[in-house]
Amino acid sequence: MKYLYTVSLIVLVFYLLLSCDDQPVNKVDPPARVVLISNSADTSSVEHGIDAIYLNESPDKNSIFFEWRPNGESTLAGYEMYRSVFANQNYTSLARVVENFGIIDTFYIDNSISLNIRYYYFIRAFDDLDQYGEPSDTISYEVIENPILLGSIITDTTALEFIWNFPAFAVPQYFVFRLEISENEIYRNLYSKLIEISVEYGQHQEWTLAELTQETTLSPGKYRWRIDSIGSEYNQGAESAWFIFIIQ
């Protein structure tokens, strides 16, 4: 009798295990792999991808901006950024981007960088269960020394001149001149031009409006301009601060 009871108990347990296997499991897959946004052209009025950015609140005014496409999971909780100064090793967590007022940002600004060092990044999405998706592709950027704007002046011939200095030992082969006009205190791109520096030009730069834009005059209004240095290596460069001027 005891033997029959033991056998019956084993059969019952086996049946229950089989029944559990038949029950649906509400498994949540981890988030999909993050897709990075490709770089826009150097002269794009709205810059995308990864780029240098000049910020007054950064320790040395320089930062690296990068962005990615949003994941579509309903369980998405945020993104985690990883950084290294080596391409394939020693990555550490840099920061997390989480929901803020119902929105999860899809960009990050790294303001803890140093000049002339290449930084490598990848991103992983994570969900409410703290499950992580696969790492994104790796991107990198190196910020070099900034151009220093010296001013905008009206010469005797009423031609507008733009004056700045490049670092003494870091004169780039190319730069981008950006000119924007203020409309109701919102700046709109007017010109963005990629220019090659001739060999006779050095650290000190003086250019007329006509040389930079092929225009000779500007209408009355509030303007600002900036110089972007384009480094000789891939994803390498720097931005100057903006310089504001008014044409009466």
pLDDT at residue number 11: 39
pLDDT at residue number 215: 85
Residue 152 makes CB contacts below 8 A (sequence gap 6+) with 160, 161, 162, 163, 225, 243, 245
Got the DSSP string for 138-150? -EEEEE-PPPEEE
Domain ranges of the chain: 51-143, 148-247
Same fold across 51-143 and 148-247: yes
pLDDT at residue number 33: 97
For 203-242, write each residue's pLDDT tens digit: 999 999 999 998 888 999 999 999 999 999 999 999 999 9
Distance (Å, whole) CA 43 – CA 230: 11
For 125-173, write each residue's pLDDT tens digit: 999 999 999 999 999 999 999 999 999 887 554 578 999 999 988 889 8
Displacement of CA 217 from its chain's centroid (Å): 34
What's the CATH number for 148-247?
2.60.40.10
pLDDT at residue number 44: 95
- Paired with 139 in beta bridges are 121
Distance (Å, whole) CA 3 – CA 42: 83
pLDDT at residue number 119: 98
- Paired with 186 in beta bridges are 183
CATH of 51-143, one of 2.40.10.340, 2.60.40.10, 3.30.70.2860, 2.30.30.90: 2.60.40.10
Q: Yes or no: say if 122 and 137 are a contact pair by the CB < 8 Å rule.
A: yes
For 35-94, write each residue's pLDDT tens digit: 999 999 999 999 999 999 999 877 778 999 999 999 999 999 999 999 999 999 999 999
Report the range of poorest mean pLDDT among 14-18, 40-44, 98-102, 175-179. 14-18
| Distance (Å) of CA 19 to CA 13, 55, 137 | 10, 62, 43
